[in-house]
Structure 1
Amino acid sequence: MTFAEVHREVLHLFPSQPCSVLDIGAGSGRDAAALAARGHRVVAAEPTAEPRSLGRRLHSDQKIEWVDDALPRLTTLTARGGRFDLILLAAVWMHLDDNAPRPWSG
């Protein structure tokens, strides 16, 4: 499925002007590439080496910063600091263990 098909119900909520985007669980980068093509500055966080490497190859023409990082802590990105205007999580939650710490829950 394409980026537009997957996100059709929420695309109107995405910033139209170029901004800073974090794609958590970026996989091979379909969403990161589509957002970069729209002029956004994209950081793609993907903890698994194979899809991250594939994404780098498939989307080498896009300005995407690939980062080895994972939920629930996002240790690398947290240590770097910084802010994002849009944080995208697509098909990610099912990969978290039921007992994983939930930093957003207090």
Structure 2
Amino acid sequence: MKLTTLRPKVATLRSRVQNVPTASDRRITGRTLQNRRLRIWSKDPHCAKCGRLVAYPHGFELDHVVALSQGGLDVDANCQVLCIGTDGCHEAKTRADLGQRRSR
């Protein structure tokens, strides 16, 4: 008898399970990311926006052409090298992707 009263509760518990991101939904990290950084930089070590030559490994950020938050894929074809710093192209593009203006 008690098993019949538990069935509705089990059904509602199953419907509350949240979608857990899979490996394909997450950004790459670690050695895989470092290999991608070297691969993209080796093809063209210049900033994709201003053309400045950037140093490996700390003179640039690997940027997604179409931001992941806007539906871009985390693949090599969607990555580019952008320079960093206070007036860097990466910071400016990130602000534009988020719809923000430059602070004074």
Q: TM-score, normalised by structure 2?
A: 0.26
Report the TM-score when normalising by structure 1.
0.25
Higher strand share: 1
Task: Indicate the structure with greater helix content.
Answer: 2
Between the two structures, name the one with larger relative contact order (CA 8 Å, sep ≥ 6). 1
